[in-house]
Every structure is written in structure tokens, then in C-alpha cells.
Amino acid sequence: MGTIFKFHHDLDTDQIIASQYLLLPTIEEMKAHTFESLDADFSKKVRPGDFVVGGDNFGCGSSREQAPSVLKALGVKAVVAQSFARIFYRNAINIGLPVIVCKDLYEQVSTGETMELFLSEGLVKAGGQEYSCTKLPPYMQAILDKGGLIASLNEAEKSTKGGEQ
Amino acid sequence: MGMTIAEKIIAAAAGVESVKPGDIHTVTLDRMMSNDGTTHLTIDMYHQQLDHPAIADSKKLVFIVDHNVPADNPKTAATHKKMRDFAREHQIDFWEGKGVCHQIMMEHYVRPGELIFGADSHTCTYGALGAFGTGVGCTDFLYGMVTGTSWLLVPETVKFNLTGKLRKGVYPRDLMLHIIGQIGANGVNYQVMEFSGEGAKTLSVNDRMVLCNLAVEAGAKSAIFEADEIALSWLKDHGRQPKQVFTSDEDAHYICEYTFNLDDIQPVVARPDFVDDVIPAAQACGTKIDEAFVGSCNNGRIDELRVAARLLKGRQVADTVRFLIVPASNDVYLQALEEGLMETFMEAGAIVMNANCSVCWGSCQGVIGENEVLISTGTRNFKGRAGHPSSKVYLASAATVTASAIKGFIATEDQL
């Protein structure tokens, strides 16, 4: 069970983390500025296990991986949106942040309400209602299951090297 | 079933005879570019997260410092140093302060038929030369750096049939903003925009770069033109040969098709804070501005500088406006010097800056303050994109931006 933070349609990556913070040395230093222009206290309010809910075209704009990375660093459990911009979607999968397409949830929930995510069932529960979500293609689900693309790369190298011995 | 240009490039990179949309393939990358927006994080991940750090082929890598250049504070200087040191250690091509990454890539590297990853969303620019360029994050970049490959979901292709010819006083920038306004900010999400038709043949490589560059603002994974004689002639002038020239088959599958008649296009602006909120420029005329900007990977080439100089000649920038002019590369800068454009800019009271991303990126010289209004040839007008969150950005062509800089409010070329 986590709290919902809901944002507008066409939510762009500059709103998630603005340009002036991208060259800070680490994601840890950037995360306090997440959603700063929309909700200056977001990083103080959000708790591990909370959810970001978006409308259409969530994460449009820049390829900056800092955008999904600050959400993950703050403990956001998943982003649930009506649709995602492709680079954000791909980056999120690659770093192991679940991105869930759920068409019907957006209009029914508000910031501050709670929800539960059942990832493997493709199901969200909020406000006493159940909402079905689109499941990831198996290839992407496998990356997510391994904890991201780099974790899967390390694992693949390990098994290759193991096989050689 | 035939294939589109994009599908043929992916098939070649995957080493298979054919691909179809929805397939996921492992592709070999021809080249990878990363800039100072994210490379410091990629390098940290390289050292901290890989069990066996190693680079597959450093000759395929290009690092470009173009976003905050020269460095604006000690932390930025440290991120640049990290990038510089890593590039030297691993013999990676390294450019600093020579221009915006996509301009450098087009001037020196991109070849028709290549599949290129760039750690920047506007990597789709390379489609102007018939290459498949797409933007990725630093995890994808790192994976590609280590393996030389990546996973790729084959996108659907959308055909944009261009007819007619742009009228005098109307620019490719107006055309592309108009298209985005019509199809929306996610109009081609995860798809390829393929531009073709007789209208496409009226466009120069510069013009094609303007169109392909902004494709990501409609959600595109990539954008592409066939590498025709115009592209091949440009390539030859830059001392390169194509990897392979692909054309779309007659029976290639397109998820949908649009037709745009270039004769019908008018000067437009995109209103704050969405790139697809596009209206005729005439409707925005009179809006007071504080700053104007001609530059960026979309519109900082010699063509746009020539337009700005033509309109500025014998006129002055309004004394209430800062007008930034930023060449996209040093080659563009030198060309502008040779043609005397720089003198015109200085005499008119414009501020000429070194070749870099400048205020389009919003975290360096030229950022705007509380409630200020910028009219820009940059790529985006997102909320706070160019500075303070309460500031506003209008997007327009170099002509409309320059006319506005002279008037002090949004104006079109024909109002001068």
C-alpha cells in the first residue's frame, strides 16, 4: 500500500528533474529536486513504496536517465500512467523501475489516496476498485526481474564465464 | 512484405534478412555519442556497477562537451573533467566547446545506413542523412559501450508525404512545428517518421535536420529521409561515403500516412509550455518578450544565421530585449565570420556566444528570470525549460525570433 502522487498529461522530463540539477555529481544529490517546479516538497513527502500516477505521454522530452533514476532513488515503487513517452519507458525498464500502463486509473484517483500494485497479475487496487494494467513484453519483464539492464549484463557475463570453465 | 528504410537498417544491424514491427532484436551499433548531460553518470556506472568493466570498441564512441560549456561552476567543471579523463584513458574521440553534439556528429561522423545511439533525445537528427539515430539513457549507453550491441524493438513507421514547396518567408521550422501541432506531442510515440514525396526533394540537408531533430517532440523513436542525391552530395562535400543507401520498398508497411502541402504552411509559434500548442504566428503578435534566441541543434546552422543577419542588417535589437545568437558549431561560426554575419549581429546589438546548447538547455548563460518571456529557435518550451519555473518560452523560426528581437514583441518577418 502506497500513496499516490498524480501529475498532468504530457508530463515532461524537465518537470521531473530540471536541467540545472543534471550535472550534479550523483543521483543522490539530484533527488531532492524531483518535481520541484510542480511540488517543491515532493522529495520530503514521498515515502518508499509510494506511486507516481500520470496521464498520457508520461516522461516526454529528454533522454536524461536522471528522470526515472531520481524517482527510483526516492523509493517510488512504480509509475502508473495512461501512456509513456518511449525514452522514459525504456530508461525506466533499464534501471529496474516498473512502468505500468493503466488506462482507467488516472481519472479515478487523486494525489494523497492510496493504492496497491500486483505487478505479476497486471492489477492495481485503489479506492475499492480494481484496474487491469498492460503487462510488459517478456523480454522487458526479464530485464526488470533481474533488477535492470546492467544487472542482467553482469549475470550474463557471469554465466558465460562460468560456462567456459 | 517489403520493408521501410528504418526496418532495413535495423535488419542489417541485426544480421537478419528481414524484421517487422514489434520484433525485438539484438543489433550491432555503428556508433554511439554521449554529451555532458549524462556522461558523468555513465562513467560512474562503468566503474561502480560492472563486474567486468571493458569497452567493446572505443573507435565507435564519441564524447562531446556541449551543454554547459565552458563550465559554469566547480561541480560542472568536475563532471567535465571526469568525461575528459575517461575519454583520454580509453582513446575515445572527444570534443569540447566545438559545437552542439548533433551538429558535430553530422559534420564529422554520420553516414547513411548507420544505426547510431546517442545519449540525447535529439539523436533522431541523423535521419537527415538516411541514418537511424535514436536517443537513449546512460544505462543503454553503458550496455552498448561494453557489448557494442543493444536490444531494439522494431518500431512502426509513419509516412509523411510532403508536397509543394515552402513559400518565401516560411521555413522548415514552421513546417515541423505545424506538423507537431497537428499530430500532437505523442502523435508518433515509439514510431519512425519517414519523410518522402516531391516536397521532401525541395529540402536541403539543413532543412531535413530541422525536421528530423524535432521528431522526438512528437514522440518519435527516430526520423528518416532517403539518402538521395542531395544527401549524398552533402556527404561527399564533407569527405564521407555512405555505409549503405536504403530505400523503402513499394510494398513497405506503414502504420499510417499523412500528407502535408508545403504551399499551405504559414509562420507559426508553439506557445508555452507544450511543443504541440502551435498557432499561426500572427495570432501571437504583440506579446512582449524579454529575450530572443537563435541557435540550438535544431536551428543554429548557417541557414538560420543568414536569415537573422538579413533581417538585422541596418536595424537594431530593441533595447528591452537580449538577443542571443549561438552558432551550432565552430564551422558554422567560421562560416558566419567569413560571410560578415557576425559584424551585422554585433552592430545590431545582439550577443554572440560560443557554439553550445545555450539557453535551449536552460542551465547555462542566458537563462531567463521570474515571469520573463523568451522567443526561441530551441527544441522545447517546457515549463521552466529556459530558467525560472514561472518564465515562458515561445518556439518559432529564426525569422520570427529575429523580427521579434527587433520589435520587442512577437512579430513576423513581414512586419519589419
Q: What is the pLDDT of residues B189-223, one digit of tens each?
A: 999 999 999 999 999 999 999 999 999 999 999 99
Chunked mean pLDDT (size 10), chain A, 165 residues: 96 95 94 95 98 97 96 98 96 96 96 95 95 90 93 87 50
Q: Are residues B12 and B143 in the same domain?
A: yes
Minimal-distance CA residue of chain B relative to A68: B137
Is the pLDDT reported for residue B271 higher than 50?
yes
What pLDDT score was predicted for residue A161?
64
Q: Are residues B291 and B346 in the same domain?
A: yes
Q: What is the rounded average pLDDT for all residues in chain B? A: 97
Query: A90 to chain B, minimum CA–CA distance in Å?
Result: 8
Chain A residues whose CB is inside 8 A of the B55 CB are none
- Exposed, middle or buried, A28 (CB in 10 Å: 0-12/13-18/19+)? exposed
Q: Are residues B199 and B252 in the same domain?
A: yes
Q: Are residues B296 and B239 in the same domain?
A: no
The verdict on residue A111 lying in a domain is yes
Please state the domain count of chain A. 1
- B262, B286, B320: which is the final residue of a domain? B262
pLDDT > 90: what percent of chain B?
A: 99
Q: Are residues B215 and B107 in the same domain?
A: yes
Interface of B with A in 19-38 (CB under 8 A): 24, 36-38
Query: B310 to chain A, minimum CA–CA distance in Å?
Result: 32
Is the pLDDT reported for residue B81 higher than 70?
yes
Q: Are residues B249 and B304 in the same domain?
A: no
Residue contacts between A and B (CB atoms, under 8 Å): 136
Mean pLDDT of B331-342: 98
CB A57 within 8 A of CB A83: yes
Q: How far apart are CA B135 and CA B101, in angstroms?
A: 12
Q: And the C-alpha cell for B115?
A: 544505426
Chain A residues whose CB is inside 8 A of the B118 CB are 63
Mean pLDDT of B261-266: 98
Q: Is the ipTM of this complex over 0.85?
A: yes
Q: What is the pLDDT of residues B302-330, one digit of tens each?
A: 999 999 999 999 999 999 999 999 999 99
Please state the domain count of chain B. 2
Q: Are residues B87 and B209 in the same domain?
A: yes
Q: Are residues B362 and B220 in the same domain?
A: no
- B230, B246, B262: which is the final residue of a domain? B262
- B222, B242, B262: which is the final residue of a domain? B262
The verdict on residue A39 lying in a domain is yes
- Quick one: which H or E segment has residue B177? helix B172-183
Q: How far apart are CA B338 and CA B345, in angstroms?
A: 13
What pLDDT score was predicted for residue A165?
40
Q: What is the pLDDT of residues B27-74, one digit of tens each?
A: 999 999 999 999 999 999 999 999 999 999 999 999 999 999 999 999
Query: What range defines the domain where residue B122 resides?
Result: 5-262
Full DSSP string of chain A: -EEEEE--TT-BHHHHS-GGGTTSS-HHHHGGGTTTTT-TTHHHH--TT-EEEE-TTBTBS---THHHHHHHHTT--EEEES-B-HHHHHHHHHHT--EEE-TTTGGG--TT-EEEEETTTTEEEETTEEEE-BPPPHHHHHHHHTTSHHHHHHHHHHHHHHHH-
Q: Are residues B243 and B276 in the same domain?
A: no
The verdict on residue A141 lying in a domain is no
CATH number for position A7 = 3.20.19.10
Q: Are residues B93 and B218 in the same domain?
A: yes
Query: What range defines the domain where residue A10 resides?
Result: 2-135
Minimal-distance CA residue of chain B relative to A84: B189
From the annotation, which residues of B make up the binding site? 297, 357, 360
Q: Are residues B183 and B289 in the same domain?
A: no
Mean pLDDT of B346-356: 98
The verdict on residue A159 lying in a domain is no
B275 CB neighbour count, 10 Å cutoff: 27
Q: Are residues B253 and B288 in the same domain?
A: no
Interface of B with A in 301-360 (CB under 8 A): none
